[in-house]
Structure 1
Protein backbone atom coordinates (compact mmCIF):
# COMPACT_ATOMS: atom_id res chain seq x y z
CA UNK A 1 0.00 0.00 0.00
CA UNK A 2 1.40 3.41 -0.94
CA UNK A 3 0.82 6.82 0.58
CA UNK A 4 -1.05 8.01 -2.52
CA UNK A 5 -4.54 6.75 -1.52
CA UNK A 6 -4.16 8.35 1.91
CA UNK A 7 -3.15 11.71 0.44
CA UNK A 8 -5.96 11.50 -2.13
CA UNK A 9 -8.47 10.78 0.65
CA UNK A 10 -7.29 13.85 2.55
CA UNK A 11 -7.60 15.96 -0.61
CA UNK A 12 -11.14 14.68 -1.25
CA UNK A 13 -12.09 15.48 2.35
CA UNK A 14 -10.84 19.05 1.85
CA UNK A 15 -12.73 19.37 -1.45
CA UNK A 16 -15.99 18.14 0.12
CA UNK A 17 -15.69 20.67 2.94
CA UNK A 18 -14.64 23.57 0.70
CA UNK A 19 -16.98 23.02 -2.24
CA UNK A 20 -20.22 21.40 -1.11
CA UNK A 21 -20.23 22.19 2.60
CA UNK A 22 -18.81 25.62 1.73
CA UNK A 23 -16.42 26.03 4.61
CA UNK A 24 -15.34 29.68 4.56
CA UNK A 25 -11.88 30.68 3.41
CA UNK A 26 -11.06 31.62 6.99
CA UNK A 27 -11.63 28.00 8.03
CA UNK A 28 -9.35 26.50 5.37
CA UNK A 29 -6.26 26.94 7.51
CA UNK A 30 -7.82 25.07 10.42
CA UNK A 31 -9.17 22.35 8.12
CA UNK A 32 -5.82 21.94 6.36
CA UNK A 33 -3.95 21.86 9.64
CA UNK A 34 -6.32 19.18 10.96
CA UNK A 35 -5.78 16.99 7.91
CA UNK A 36 -2.00 17.47 8.05
CA UNK A 37 -2.04 16.66 11.75
CA UNK A 38 -3.86 13.42 11.00
CA UNK A 39 -1.38 12.50 8.27
CA UNK A 40 1.53 13.28 10.58
CA UNK A 41 0.05 11.08 13.28
CA UNK A 42 -0.39 8.27 10.80
CA UNK A 43 3.23 8.64 9.69
CA UNK A 44 4.40 8.24 13.29
CA UNK A 45 2.10 5.45 14.45
CA UNK A 46 0.52 3.94 11.35
CA UNK A 47 1.78 1.17 9.10
CA UNK A 48 1.15 2.15 5.48
CA UNK A 49 3.03 -0.90 4.28
CA UNK A 50 0.70 -3.34 6.00
CA UNK A 51 -2.24 -4.75 4.03
CA UNK A 52 -5.70 -3.70 5.10
CA UNK A 53 -7.85 -6.06 7.13
CA UNK A 54 -10.05 -8.19 4.85
CA UNK A 55 -13.65 -7.18 4.52
CA UNK A 56 -13.15 -3.71 5.95
CA UNK A 57 -14.20 -0.71 3.86
CA UNK A 58 -13.68 2.94 4.60
CA UNK A 59 -16.93 4.61 5.62
CA UNK A 60 -17.63 8.10 4.32
CA UNK A 61 -19.12 10.64 6.70
CA UNK A 62 -22.77 11.32 5.82
CA UNK A 63 -23.52 14.59 4.07
CA UNK A 64 -25.98 17.00 5.66
CA UNK A 65 -29.26 16.83 3.75
CA UNK A 66 -30.02 20.47 4.51
CA UNK A 67 -26.85 21.49 2.67
CA UNK A 68 -27.79 19.31 -0.29
CA UNK A 69 -31.14 21.06 -0.61
CA UNK A 70 -29.53 24.49 -0.33
CA UNK A 71 -26.87 23.62 -2.89
CA UNK A 72 -29.50 22.36 -5.37
CA UNK A 73 -31.70 25.42 -4.92
CA UNK A 74 -28.76 27.66 -5.90
CA UNK A 75 -29.31 26.58 -9.50
CA UNK A 76 -32.99 27.52 -9.63
CA UNK A 77 -35.17 30.60 -9.22
CA UNK A 78 -35.65 30.83 -5.46
CA UNK A 79 -38.62 33.15 -5.92
CA UNK A 80 -40.61 30.22 -7.30
CA UNK A 81 -41.53 27.28 -5.09
CA UNK A 82 -40.93 23.79 -6.46
CA UNK A 83 -43.75 21.27 -6.72
CA UNK A 84 -45.40 19.79 -3.64
CA UNK A 85 -43.65 16.48 -4.29
CA UNK A 86 -40.23 18.16 -4.26
CA UNK A 87 -41.05 20.09 -1.09
CA UNK A 88 -42.04 16.85 0.66
CA UNK A 89 -39.01 15.03 -0.73
CA UNK A 90 -36.77 17.82 0.53
CA UNK A 91 -38.15 17.38 4.04
CA UNK A 92 -37.00 13.74 4.01
CA UNK A 93 -33.68 14.63 2.36
CA UNK A 94 -32.96 17.06 5.20
CA UNK A 95 -33.47 14.22 7.69
CA UNK A 96 -31.15 11.92 5.80
CA UNK A 97 -33.96 9.59 4.69
CA UNK A 98 -32.76 9.38 1.10
CA UNK A 99 -34.90 6.38 0.16
CA UNK A 100 -38.18 8.12 0.98
CA UNK A 101 -36.94 11.35 -0.55
CA UNK A 102 -36.23 9.59 -3.84
CA UNK A 103 -39.77 8.19 -3.79
CA UNK A 104 -41.29 11.67 -3.66
CA UNK A 105 -38.95 12.95 -6.37
CA UNK A 106 -40.11 10.03 -8.54
CA UNK A 107 -43.69 11.15 -7.98
CA UNK A 108 -42.63 14.61 -9.12
CA UNK A 109 -41.13 13.43 -12.41
CA UNK A 110 -44.09 11.14 -13.05
CA UNK A 111 -46.47 14.05 -12.57
CA UNK A 112 -44.31 16.40 -14.66
CA UNK A 113 -41.55 14.75 -16.74
CA UNK A 114 -40.35 18.24 -17.76
CA UNK A 115 -39.47 19.24 -14.19
CA UNK A 116 -35.69 19.74 -14.25
CA UNK A 117 -35.39 20.25 -10.50
CA UNK A 118 -37.32 17.05 -9.79
CA UNK A 119 -34.95 15.00 -11.96
CA UNK A 120 -31.95 16.65 -10.32
CA UNK A 121 -33.35 16.02 -6.84
CA UNK A 122 -33.95 12.39 -7.77
CA UNK A 123 -30.35 11.97 -8.95
CA UNK A 124 -28.96 13.49 -5.75
CA UNK A 125 -31.17 11.35 -3.51
CA UNK A 126 -30.28 8.16 -5.39
CA UNK A 127 -26.55 8.86 -5.05
CA UNK A 128 -26.88 9.45 -1.31
CA UNK A 129 -29.10 6.38 -0.87
CA UNK A 130 -26.30 4.37 -2.51
CA UNK A 131 -23.75 5.80 -0.03
CA UNK A 132 -22.21 8.15 -2.57
CA UNK A 133 -22.13 5.70 -5.48
CA UNK A 134 -23.22 6.85 -8.93
CA UNK A 135 -25.79 4.19 -9.88
CA UNK A 136 -27.26 3.80 -13.39
CA UNK A 137 -30.59 5.18 -12.12
CA UNK A 138 -28.89 8.25 -10.66
CA UNK A 139 -26.91 8.81 -13.87
CA UNK A 140 -30.14 8.59 -15.88
CA UNK A 141 -31.76 11.20 -13.63
CA UNK A 142 -28.85 13.61 -14.03
CA UNK A 143 -28.87 13.12 -17.81
CA UNK A 144 -32.62 13.79 -17.99
CA UNK A 145 -32.21 16.99 -15.98
CA UNK A 146 -29.40 18.16 -18.25
CA UNK A 147 -31.33 17.37 -21.42
CA UNK A 148 -34.30 19.40 -20.19
CA UNK A 149 -32.26 22.48 -19.35
CA UNK A 150 -28.87 22.59 -21.04
CA UNK A 151 -27.84 25.93 -19.54
CA UNK A 152 -28.54 24.86 -15.96
CA UNK A 153 -25.29 23.99 -14.20
CA UNK A 154 -26.91 21.89 -11.47
CA UNK A 155 -26.91 18.48 -13.22
CA UNK A 156 -23.26 18.73 -14.27
CA UNK A 157 -22.27 20.11 -10.87
CA UNK A 158 -23.81 17.28 -8.85
CA UNK A 159 -22.77 14.63 -11.36
CA UNK A 160 -19.24 15.98 -11.14
CA UNK A 161 -19.43 15.95 -7.37
CA UNK A 162 -20.40 12.27 -7.47
CA UNK A 163 -17.36 11.53 -9.65
CA UNK A 164 -15.17 13.55 -7.29
CA UNK A 165 -16.23 11.38 -4.37
CA UNK A 166 -15.26 8.37 -6.47
CA UNK A 167 -11.77 9.83 -6.94
CA UNK A 168 -12.34 10.89 -10.57
CA UNK A 169 -11.27 14.53 -10.27
CA UNK A 170 -10.56 14.89 -14.00
CA UNK A 171 -14.14 13.94 -14.88
CA UNK A 172 -15.34 16.45 -12.32
CA UNK A 173 -13.18 19.18 -13.81
CA UNK A 174 -14.49 18.55 -17.32
CA UNK A 175 -18.14 18.53 -16.20
CA UNK A 176 -17.80 21.72 -14.17
CA UNK A 177 -15.94 23.39 -17.05
CA UNK A 178 -18.74 22.40 -19.46
CA UNK A 179 -21.32 23.76 -17.02
CA UNK A 180 -19.49 27.07 -16.84
CA UNK A 181 -19.20 27.35 -20.63
CA UNK A 182 -22.93 26.66 -21.06
CA UNK A 183 -23.99 29.01 -18.24
CA UNK A 184 -25.80 32.25 -19.11
CA UNK A 185 -23.74 35.35 -18.40
CA UNK A 186 -26.27 36.55 -15.85
CA UNK A 187 -26.68 33.22 -14.02
CA UNK A 188 -26.48 33.97 -10.26
CA UNK A 189 -24.55 30.74 -9.63
CA UNK A 190 -21.96 31.33 -12.37
CA UNK A 191 -19.40 33.11 -10.18
CA UNK A 192 -19.67 30.51 -7.42
CA UNK A 193 -19.15 27.65 -9.87
CA UNK A 194 -16.18 29.42 -11.48
CA UNK A 195 -14.57 29.78 -8.05
CA UNK A 196 -15.09 26.10 -7.24
CA UNK A 197 -13.63 25.13 -10.61
CA UNK A 198 -10.53 27.23 -9.91
CA UNK A 199 -10.13 25.62 -6.49
CA UNK A 200 -10.42 22.17 -7.98
CA UNK A 201 -7.86 22.96 -10.67
CA UNK A 202 -5.39 24.29 -8.11
CA UNK A 203 -5.80 21.15 -6.00
CA UNK A 204 -5.27 18.89 -9.02
CA UNK A 205 -1.93 20.46 -9.97
CA UNK A 206 0.18 18.83 -7.21
CA UNK A 207 -1.25 15.42 -8.15
CA UNK A 208 -0.40 16.00 -11.84
CA UNK A 209 3.13 17.01 -10.90
CA UNK A 210 3.54 13.89 -8.75
CA UNK A 211 2.56 11.68 -11.68
Structure 2
Protein backbone atom coordinates (compact mmCIF):
# COMPACT_ATOMS: atom_id res chain seq x y z
CA UNK A 1 0.00 0.00 0.00
CA UNK A 2 2.86 2.35 0.84
CA UNK A 3 4.49 1.80 -2.56
CA UNK A 4 1.22 2.48 -4.42
CA UNK A 5 0.84 5.80 -2.61
CA UNK A 6 4.43 6.82 -3.33
CA UNK A 7 4.11 5.99 -7.06
CA UNK A 8 0.77 7.77 -7.31
CA UNK A 9 2.13 10.89 -5.65
CA UNK A 10 5.23 10.84 -7.87
CA UNK A 11 3.05 10.60 -10.99
CA UNK A 12 0.87 13.48 -9.82
CA UNK A 13 3.88 15.68 -9.08
CA UNK A 14 5.42 14.87 -12.48
CA UNK A 15 2.16 15.61 -14.30
CA UNK A 16 1.52 18.87 -12.42
CA UNK A 17 5.02 20.22 -13.01
CA UNK A 18 4.93 19.21 -16.68
CA UNK A 19 1.57 20.92 -17.34
CA UNK A 20 2.27 24.07 -15.32
CA UNK A 21 5.98 24.51 -15.96
CA UNK A 22 6.10 23.78 -19.72
CA UNK A 23 9.52 22.15 -19.33
CA UNK A 24 11.57 21.06 -22.34
CA UNK A 25 12.69 17.46 -22.87
CA UNK A 26 15.95 17.83 -20.90
CA UNK A 27 14.20 19.37 -17.91
CA UNK A 28 11.59 16.62 -17.92
CA UNK A 29 14.30 13.98 -17.95
CA UNK A 30 15.98 15.69 -14.99
CA UNK A 31 12.64 15.88 -13.13
CA UNK A 32 11.98 12.22 -13.78
CA UNK A 33 15.43 11.30 -12.49
CA UNK A 34 14.85 13.30 -9.31
CA UNK A 35 11.56 11.51 -8.64
CA UNK A 36 13.22 8.13 -9.25
CA UNK A 37 15.96 8.99 -6.74
CA UNK A 38 13.28 9.92 -4.21
CA UNK A 39 11.58 6.58 -4.72
CA UNK A 40 14.91 4.78 -4.38
CA UNK A 41 15.51 6.56 -1.09
CA UNK A 42 12.10 5.46 0.13
CA UNK A 43 12.87 1.88 -0.88
CA UNK A 44 16.09 2.01 1.11
CA UNK A 45 14.88 3.77 4.29
CA UNK A 46 11.10 3.60 4.25
CA UNK A 47 9.26 1.05 6.41
CA UNK A 48 5.56 1.48 5.59
CA UNK A 49 4.65 -1.73 7.41
CA UNK A 50 5.38 -0.24 10.81
CA UNK A 51 2.44 0.97 12.86
CA UNK A 52 2.29 4.63 13.78
CA UNK A 53 3.32 5.29 17.37
CA UNK A 54 3.25 8.87 18.69
CA UNK A 55 6.18 9.70 20.96
CA UNK A 56 5.05 11.20 24.28
CA UNK A 57 6.83 14.35 25.48
CA UNK A 58 9.63 13.73 27.97
CA UNK A 59 8.41 13.67 31.54
CA UNK A 60 9.58 16.60 33.61
CA UNK A 61 11.33 15.52 36.77
CA UNK A 62 9.38 16.38 39.89
CA UNK A 63 11.51 18.45 42.22
CA UNK A 64 11.32 18.50 46.03
CA UNK A 65 9.95 21.46 47.92
CA UNK A 66 12.33 24.37 48.27
CA UNK A 67 13.60 25.38 51.70
CA UNK A 68 11.40 28.47 51.38
CA UNK A 69 8.29 26.35 50.80
CA UNK A 70 9.08 24.11 53.76
CA UNK A 71 9.31 26.87 56.36
CA UNK A 72 7.42 29.86 55.00
CA UNK A 73 4.22 28.80 56.76
CA UNK A 74 5.93 29.05 60.15
CA UNK A 75 7.31 32.49 59.41
CA UNK A 76 4.79 34.11 57.07
CA UNK A 77 1.56 32.16 57.46
CA UNK A 78 -0.29 30.12 54.84
CA UNK A 79 -3.92 31.14 54.68
CA UNK A 80 -3.74 34.81 53.72
CA UNK A 81 -3.69 36.39 50.27
CA UNK A 82 0.06 35.97 49.83
CA UNK A 83 -0.06 32.37 51.02
CA UNK A 84 -2.43 31.36 48.24
CA UNK A 85 -0.27 32.90 45.53
CA UNK A 86 2.93 31.46 46.99
CA UNK A 87 1.37 28.00 47.08
CA UNK A 88 0.65 28.26 43.35
CA UNK A 89 4.24 29.39 42.72
CA UNK A 90 5.51 26.42 44.77
CA UNK A 91 3.63 24.05 42.46
CA UNK A 92 5.46 25.49 39.45
CA UNK A 93 8.80 25.18 41.23
CA UNK A 94 8.16 21.52 42.00
CA UNK A 95 7.63 20.91 38.28
CA UNK A 96 10.91 22.65 37.50
CA UNK A 97 9.14 25.60 35.88
CA UNK A 98 10.94 28.31 37.82
CA UNK A 99 10.19 31.07 35.31
CA UNK A 100 6.42 30.71 35.62
CA UNK A 101 6.80 30.36 39.38
CA UNK A 102 8.29 33.85 39.51
CA UNK A 103 5.71 35.07 36.99
CA UNK A 104 2.82 34.04 39.23
CA UNK A 105 4.20 36.12 42.09
CA UNK A 106 4.83 39.04 39.76
CA UNK A 107 1.18 38.91 38.74
CA UNK A 108 0.11 38.90 42.39
CA UNK A 109 2.28 41.93 43.13
CA UNK A 110 0.49 43.93 40.43
CA UNK A 111 -2.65 43.55 42.55
CA UNK A 112 -0.93 43.76 45.95
CA UNK A 113 2.21 45.90 45.51
CA UNK A 114 2.62 46.54 49.25
CA UNK A 115 2.51 42.93 50.40
CA UNK A 116 5.86 42.17 52.04
CA UNK A 117 5.31 38.40 51.94
CA UNK A 118 4.88 38.48 48.17
CA UNK A 119 8.09 40.48 47.78
CA UNK A 120 9.89 37.89 49.91
CA UNK A 121 8.42 35.17 47.71
CA UNK A 122 9.55 36.97 44.57
CA UNK A 123 13.08 37.30 45.88
CA UNK A 124 13.16 33.60 46.68
CA UNK A 125 11.66 32.67 43.29
CA UNK A 126 14.29 34.72 41.46
CA UNK A 127 17.08 33.05 43.42
CA UNK A 128 15.66 29.62 42.55
CA UNK A 129 15.39 30.59 38.87
CA UNK A 130 19.05 31.68 38.94
CA UNK A 131 20.12 28.31 40.39
CA UNK A 132 20.88 29.73 43.84
CA UNK A 133 22.50 32.97 42.69
CA UNK A 134 21.50 36.17 44.51
CA UNK A 135 20.80 38.38 41.51
CA UNK A 136 20.33 42.18 41.75
CA UNK A 137 16.61 41.73 41.05
CA UNK A 138 16.27 39.18 43.86
CA UNK A 139 18.16 41.40 46.29
CA UNK A 140 15.93 44.33 45.36
CA UNK A 141 12.84 42.22 46.09
CA UNK A 142 14.13 41.30 49.56
CA UNK A 143 15.00 44.94 50.25
CA UNK A 144 11.51 46.01 49.17
CA UNK A 145 9.98 43.47 51.57
CA UNK A 146 12.14 44.72 54.46
CA UNK A 147 11.17 48.33 53.70
CA UNK A 148 7.45 47.48 53.79
CA UNK A 149 7.70 45.44 57.01
CA UNK A 150 10.82 46.62 58.86
CA UNK A 151 9.78 45.01 62.14
CA UNK A 152 8.92 41.62 60.69
CA UNK A 153 11.67 38.96 60.79
CA UNK A 154 10.48 37.22 57.61
CA UNK A 155 12.24 39.37 54.98
CA UNK A 156 15.57 39.22 56.81
CA UNK A 157 15.30 35.53 57.61
CA UNK A 158 14.53 34.48 54.04
CA UNK A 159 17.16 36.83 52.67
CA UNK A 160 19.65 35.00 54.89
CA UNK A 161 18.26 31.66 53.75
CA UNK A 162 18.75 32.61 50.10
CA UNK A 163 22.31 33.74 50.84
CA UNK A 164 23.06 30.45 52.58
CA UNK A 165 21.71 28.47 49.63
CA UNK A 166 24.13 30.41 47.43
CA UNK A 167 27.08 29.54 49.67
CA UNK A 168 27.32 32.90 51.48
CA UNK A 169 27.18 31.35 54.93
CA UNK A 170 28.92 34.12 56.88
CA UNK A 171 26.48 36.73 55.60
CA UNK A 172 23.52 34.50 56.39
CA UNK A 173 24.82 33.81 59.89
CA UNK A 174 25.27 37.52 60.60
CA UNK A 175 21.70 38.28 59.50
CA UNK A 176 20.19 35.46 61.56
CA UNK A 177 22.12 36.40 64.70
CA UNK A 178 20.97 39.99 64.27
CA UNK A 179 17.35 38.80 64.17
CA UNK A 180 17.76 36.84 67.38
CA UNK A 181 19.11 39.88 69.24
CA UNK A 182 15.67 41.50 69.20
CA UNK A 183 13.52 38.37 68.99
CA UNK A 184 11.26 37.68 72.00
CA UNK A 185 12.34 34.54 73.91
CA UNK A 186 9.07 32.64 73.41
CA UNK A 187 8.30 33.55 69.80
CA UNK A 188 7.35 30.51 67.68
CA UNK A 189 9.92 31.03 64.92
CA UNK A 190 12.94 31.55 67.18
CA UNK A 191 13.85 27.80 67.34
CA UNK A 192 13.82 27.67 63.53
CA UNK A 193 16.58 30.28 63.32
CA UNK A 194 18.52 28.78 66.21
CA UNK A 195 18.44 25.40 64.51
CA UNK A 196 19.93 26.80 61.31
CA UNK A 197 22.65 28.60 63.22
CA UNK A 198 23.49 25.38 65.01
CA UNK A 199 23.68 23.55 61.65
CA UNK A 200 26.08 26.19 60.36
CA UNK A 201 28.28 25.86 63.43
CA UNK A 202 28.37 22.07 63.08
CA UNK A 203 29.24 22.35 59.39
CA UNK A 204 32.09 24.74 60.23
CA UNK A 205 33.39 22.39 62.92
CA UNK A 206 33.44 19.54 60.42
CA UNK A 207 35.17 21.66 57.81
CA UNK A 208 32.21 21.53 55.45
CA UNK A 209 31.75 25.33 55.52
CA UNK A 210 34.49 27.93 55.44
TM range (shorter): 0.5 to 0.7
Q: Which residue of 2 aligns with 1:11?
A: none
Counterparts in 2 of 1:178 and 1:71: CA distance versus 1, 3 Å: same
Q: Which residue of 2 aligns with 1:194?
A: 194
Work out the CA distance in 1 between the residues paired with 2:201 and 2:188: 22
Q: Secondary structure at the match of 1:104?
A: helix
Name the CA shift for 1:152/1:204 in 2 (closer, same or farther; >3 Å).
farther
- Listed as ranges, the gaps of 5+ residues in structure 1 are 1-61
CA distance in 1, matches of 2:159, 2:66: 18
Offset, 1:203: 2.7
**2: CA distance between counterparts of 1:69 and 1:138?**
17
Shift of 1:80: 3.7
**Whole-Å separation in 2 of the counterparts to 1:86 and 1:129:** 15
Q: Confirm or deny: 8 A CA contact 2:145 2:155 kept in the other structure.
A: yes
Q: Is the 8 A contact 1:120 1:141 kept in 2?
A: yes
Larger Rg: 2
- Name which structure has the greater RCO, CA cutoff 8 Å, separation 6+: 1
1:192 and 1:115 map into 2 onto residues whose CA distance is 23
The equivalent residue for 1:69 is 69
Correspondences of 1:71-90 after superposition (within 5 Å): 71-78=71-78, 80=80, 82=82, 84-90=84-90
- 1:173 shift after superposition: 0.7
Which whole-Å CA distance do the structure 2 matches of 1:86 and 1:150 have between them?
Answer: 21
- Distance in 1 between residues matched to 2:164 and 2:179, nearest whole Å: 15
1:170 Cα deviation (Å)? 1.1
List structure 1 runs of 4+ shifted beyond 4 angstroms: none
Change (3 A) 1:118 1:197: same
Equivalence for 1:103: 103
2:164 corresponds in structure 1 to: 164
